[in-house]
């Protein structure tokens, strides 16, 4: 036991020291090699001024104080983008922040992000730490740091929610509710509450859902504007719509439907939903339970994987949100090395490989020497993203408590075939 704890402590120490060392090297490179050139070592498409995503908030605050409604006209933003954040972020319009506050606020968010990264893993070895670093410092995560996106603070809130599962389901629920008010998608992580009994989970789930529904109702105009005004990419993005957005004319001709047809708009999401269901059913009917020796790492996996699956169904997300896959790493690595059915290990290994492909693909996407095969790289990344959503769905359903499987098995047609 002391040997195991020692290995795990060394893993956490390696994670912290290596991360701090990497940032020290980056700060030195910013000064000596150049800010933009340093980011471009990871092929991150740098946008100036720095931390451009976050600048929308203080820029909108300046517009608001000058008598403009930033959801209509926003001259305070460096690029005059329309304010498209949830209603919560309008609080900052009354704080007096300006664009001059951008750097210290983003640095604070980065510190909190890495505090979350350091605190949430429960049992990691040195090899686990090294494997996690390849996601922490992947191009996808570096894009998040470079843009200073508010997902940094959302990640911290998710990490705190995971830590709270060790202590109180009510604190966990409160933190989850706050996270989904800040940004809606953390609600997908409500399944971290599955460690509770059936009745308590249902009560807490309904409570969180009721708060979300009330918040959506009260801020419906803001939510709609945020959805309508958010830019959606057809590269360095993941989601059900990305492939069809990039090749919309091809699929329109192939299927014989208009590009503005509801079938074209909702078809990819329906297809993704069907694949998730199939993968989930495969996980449910698996006779061999997928267990974990670390309840907190399992909660982190559920948070990270459910956010990926849920946001995939939303249709389109910039790749910086792949940083949330840091949360799944300790449990995936544990499943790879723990004794158990071979197919679980194989599935975990495949998922790990797909995570790396998704997080690192645009280092080759932006490589000048590979410009001639960009479309091939894009398709390979899309294949990886679609496989990853199915892999996560399988592992999520395979690892749910027995009472969940019993309930879901009852809903399956021909369930007697699976339980015979």
At residue 111, the pLDDT reads 98
At residue 420, the pLDDT reads 32
Is-contact 328 192, C-beta < 8 A?
Answer: no
**End-to-end CA, the chain:** 40
Averages of pLDDT over runs of 10 residues in the chain (420 residues) are 55 96 97 95 93 96 95 93 90 94 97 98 94 97 97 98 96 96 94 94 96 90 71 80 83 71 82 95 84 92 97 92 98 90 89 97 83 87 96 95 82 49
Q: Provide the H-helix boundaries in 137-231.
A: 139-147, 151-164, 169-182, 198-218, 220-229
At residue 416, the pLDDT reads 41
> What whole-number distance in Å separates Cα of residue 165 and Cα of residue 93?
33
> What whole-number distance in Å separates Cα of residue 194 and Cα of residue 169?
10
Is-contact 158 324, C-beta < 8 A?
Answer: yes
Is-contact 74 82, C-beta < 8 A?
Answer: yes
At residue 5, the pLDDT reads 45
Q: Give the phi and the psi of residue 268 in degrees, each rounded to 5.
A: -60, -40
Is-contact 405 199, C-beta < 8 A?
Answer: no
| Cβ-based neighbours of 4, under 8 Å, separated by 6 or more | none
At residue 366, the pLDDT reads 83
47 is written with which tokens? 């946008």
At residue 259, the pLDDT reads 67
Check: pTM over 0.85? Answer yes or no: yes
Q: Which residues pair with 238 in a beta bridge?
A: 317
Is-contact 280 325, C-beta < 8 A?
Answer: no
Q: How many helices (H) does the chain have, and how many strands (E)? A: 20, 2
Q: Which residues pair with 407 in a beta bridge?
A: none
At residue 175, the pLDDT reads 97
Is-contact 296 122, C-beta < 8 A?
Answer: yes
HSE (CB half, 13 Å, CA atoms) of 163? Answer: 14
CA angle, residues 135, 241, 252, in degrees to nearest 5: 145
Q: Provide the H-helix boundaries in 219-341.
A: 220-229, 242-246, 248-255, 262-284, 295-314, 329-337
At residue 310, the pLDDT reads 96
Question: What 3-state DSSP class applies to 231?
Answer: coil
Q: What is the CA radius of gyration of the chain?
A: 22
At residue 6, the pLDDT reads 52
140 is written with which tokens? 């996808």
Q: Which residues pair with 318 in a beta bridge?
A: 237
DSSP 273-293: HHHHHHHHHHHHT-SS----S
> What whole-number distance in Å separates Cα of residue 314 and Cα of residue 137?
26
């Amino acid at each position: 036991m002391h040997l195991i704890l020692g290995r795990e402590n060394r893993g956490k120490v390696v994670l912290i020291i290596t991360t701090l060392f990497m940032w020290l090297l980056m700060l030195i490179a910013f000064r000596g090699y150049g800010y933009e050139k340093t980011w471009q070592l990871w092929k991150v498409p740098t946008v100036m001024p720095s931390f451009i995503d976050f600048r929308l908030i203080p820029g909108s605050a300046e517009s608001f104080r000058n008598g403009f409604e930033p959801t209509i006209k926003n001259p305070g933003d460096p690029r005059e983008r329309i304010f498209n954040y949830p209603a919560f972020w309008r609080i900052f319009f009354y704080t007096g922040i300006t664009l001059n506050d951008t750097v210290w606020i983003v640095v604070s968010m980065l510190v909190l992000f890495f505090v979350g990264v350091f605190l949430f893993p429960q049992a990691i070895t040195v090899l686990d730490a090294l494997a996690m670093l390849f996601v922490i410092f992947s191009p996808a995560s570096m894009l998040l740091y470079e843009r200073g996106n508010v997902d940094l603070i959302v990640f911290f809130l998710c990490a705190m929610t995971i830590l709270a599962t060790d202590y109180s389901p009510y604190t966990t629920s409160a933190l989850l509710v706050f996270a989904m008010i800040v940004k809606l998608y953390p609600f997908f992580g409500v399944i971290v509450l599955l460690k509770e009994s059936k009745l308590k989970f249902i009560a807490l789930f309904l409570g969180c859902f009721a708060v979300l529904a009330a918040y959506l109702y009260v801020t419906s105009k803001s939510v709609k504007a945020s959805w309508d005004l958010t830019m959606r990419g057809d590269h360095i993005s993941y989601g059900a719509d990305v492939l069809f957005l990039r090749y919309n004319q091809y699929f329109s001709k192939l299927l014989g439907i208009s590009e503005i047809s509801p079938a074209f708009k909702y078809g990819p999401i329906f297809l993704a939903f069907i694949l998730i269901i199939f993968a989930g059913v495969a996980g449910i009917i698996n006779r061999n339970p997928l267990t974990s020796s670390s309840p907190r790492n399992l909660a982190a996996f559920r948070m990270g994987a459910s956010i990926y699956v849920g946001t995939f169904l939303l249709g389109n997300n910039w790749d910086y949100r792949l940083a949330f896959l840091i949360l799944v790493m300790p449990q995936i690595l544990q499943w790879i090395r723990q004794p158990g059915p071979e197919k679980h290990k194989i599935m975990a290994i495949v998922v790990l490989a797909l995570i790396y492909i998704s997080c690192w693909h645009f280092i080759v996407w932006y490589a000048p020497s590979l410009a001639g095969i960009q479309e091939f790289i894009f398709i390979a990344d899309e294949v990886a993203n679609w496989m990853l959503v199915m892999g996560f769905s399988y592992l999520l359903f395979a690892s749910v408590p027995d009472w969940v499987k019993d309930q879901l098995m009852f809903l399956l047609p021909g369930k007697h075939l699976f339980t015979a």
